[in-house]
Structure 1
Amino acid sequence: MSSTRRSSLDPVAIEGWSWQPFLEDAVNSLQPLGIEPYPVSDAFLFKQDQTGSKAKPVSVTTATWACKSEKFRQVRAACVSAGTSASVLNFVINPLPRYDLPFFGGDLVTLPSGHLLALDLQPADKQDNQHTEGVWDRLMPIFDRWRSQLPDGGPIPDEAQPFFSPGFLWTRLPLGEEGDQLIDTVVRPAFNDYLNLYLELAAAAAPVSDQRMEHLLAGQRRYTDYRAEKDPARGMLTRFHGSEWTEAYIHDVLFDL
């Protein structure tokens, strides 16, 4: 009899979750790479709880999709659906440090106040021209194309600046028809443009020396340490699933380097 244990490659299908098309686009783009399951504990593959009041409870689902490949240490999607309270897709590609690649990051968040949407190819070392120049030369035309069609998301904290590229696409959109239309006609194709560029860069990446790998690994650790410490979803996930589960999810799954 075969095991019924869920795999991190099992499709995520959450009823009413607004970001399903984006995740499906990403998964389809990754399929040609010969992806394999990334080890994720059952406790984090699928989690359901309730939030809200006793009189008006809201069902909450958090699901994880994750894989690895020849050049990617971990690709993972954190998917949260909580009715009108929150709908989130946090999609990150962590490259192996043997390859001189940035991170891919996509944050797609819907809250009662509106949509908060961010895309970037995030550097392991922003000051390292060898690491960034070839990426940003190709990223900036894509950024310029889509940036002109979206409102600015506002400033980011000074402490976060080292972890974002000049092509950081960051916007806030209103709920309703106007925001939904921009998500369909601008944000989704921008997401796929950023991801396709990233996959092209990865396909062309050659292994680096051991010394270079150690340098890149140190930069990756700085990035993941910062992200784990400053994860903006911490408060929301704690409210939904409790502090113990949330801290384990952040440190053991989302930013496990």
Structure 2
Amino acid sequence: MESASSTAFSFALRRSSSTKLGEASAGSVGRRTGRPCVRVSALSYRQFVQFALDETALHTRMTPSPLQERFGSMKPLDDKTEIELLSYKAPKIRLLRSLSIQGEKGLQVLDFAMLPEPEYDLPIFCANFFTAAETNIVVLDLNPLYDVIKHKDYKDKYYGDLMSLGFKYAELLPWGGKLTGESLRFFSPMVIWTRFKSSQHMHDILYSAFVDYLKAWLVLMDLGIRETDASRIIANREAQHRYLTWRAEKDPGYEVLKRLFGETHAKNVVRGFLFDGVDSLGSKTFLDYFPEYQCEEGRVNEKRSMIGKSFATRPWNRKGEFIENCND
């Protein structure tokens, strides 16, 4: 794979960063889509969503996804929790979707992703934030379509120019504890995996990281060249399907969704909204991709790690090279 031009990347990143933090044009997506802007509190994740929609609309033409009609009006079982499900598509984006939850006792959830069309081997923008009382659990990444430990050409193509950005925030948002080897296959060297106690200062750092990571992904999207080789498109589709199949099976937020929607609706949200494509991009099952999880009776083993490795510290150096001996 050819690396994106460093000069073009730097120029595009400077251009997309011309908007100051927090100054995304309020209401621009509202004017494009008819959706009004949301008034948010200082610690609301909806601020993140509003910025993402406004910034993305500056780069591409967004239209509501068909999923919006199906899921956009879903309501929780209780009347104390606010939920917003949004979904869009664009020429290079198969699905931009967002699930945000605001509940009692400080409960907040944001699950935001942008998945490329199979004609592009772009990473998948992923932001999974969970807040309860004073605890925050965060994953922010440009998830690689192909395992960057095995595919150095893919790592160099998409992350070579971004490692300084990743380590800037790795120092501000330290590694959050042991991470299984299975999960690591779906993360990039610039992943932010962290835990912290709630404060305005930490929330501001997280918002800044979200803004910078989103802008970096949009630059990669702008530079993305449509694939014409049928075999590469098929490979991209299967790689994305594999990712979605893993995420749908191992989604840590499923129990929260089950409490809010009930079991049937929660499963529909996971497979039909959060990880749309798991039932349409391919026909392989979870056990086809990950046979090591099969129990004797044929069901999926619910154990979190079958490899037996866990990583207590960041397993990549500043060049994005995997550090094999930093596992427990």
The TM-score normalised by the length of structure 2 is 0.69
How many aligned positions are there? 241
- Once the 2 structures are TM-superposed, how far is the Cα of residue 164 of structure 1 from its aligned partner? 0.6
Code of the residue aligned with 2:209 in structure 1: it is A
Point out the more displaced range, 246-255 or 85-94: 85-94
Q: Does 1:213 align with 2:233?
A: yes
- Kept after mapping to 2: 8 A contact 1:47/1:61: no
SS of aligned partner of 2:260: helix
Residue equivalent to 2:49: 23
Map 1:90-169 → 2, pairs under 5 A: 90-112=111-133, 114-126=135-147, 127-169=150-192
Secondary structure of the structure 2 residue equivalent to 1:74: strand
Amino acid in the other structure paired with 1:75 = L
Larger CA Rg, structure 1 vs 2: 2
- Return closer, same or farther for 1:129/1:213 CA change in 2, 3 Å cut-off: farther
Deviation at 1:99, TM superposition (A): 1.0
What is the percent sequence identity of the aligned residues? 27
Query: What secondary structure does 1:59 align onto?
Result: coil
Distance in 1 (CA, whole Å) between partners of 2:217 and 2:231 is 24
CA deviation string 1:4-24 (max 9, x = no partner): xxxx87357487671121111
Residue aligning to 2:35: 10
User: Is the Cα contact below 8 Å between 1:94 and 1:104 reproduced in 2?
Assistant: yes
Q: What's the TM-score once normalised by structure 1's chain length?
A: 0.87
1:59-98 alignment, distance < 5 Å: 59-84=80-105, 86-98=107-119
Which has the larger share of strand?
Answer: 1
Gaps of 5+ in 2: 1-32, 278-328
Q: How far does residue 41 in structure 1 lie from its aligned partner after superposition?
A: 5.3
Q: Does 121-130 or 87-96 show the bigger shift?
A: 121-130
Matching residue of 2:62: 35
C-alpha distance in 1 between matches for 2:76 and 2:183: 32
1:204 to 208, 215, 223: 223
Indicate which of 257, 266, 287 corresponds to 1:246.
266
Asked if the contact 2:126–2:141 (Cα under 8 Å) also holds between the matched residues in 1, the reply is: yes
Look up the SS of the partner of 2:215 in the other structure.
helix
Q: Distance in 2 between matches of 1:247 and 1:12?
A: 29
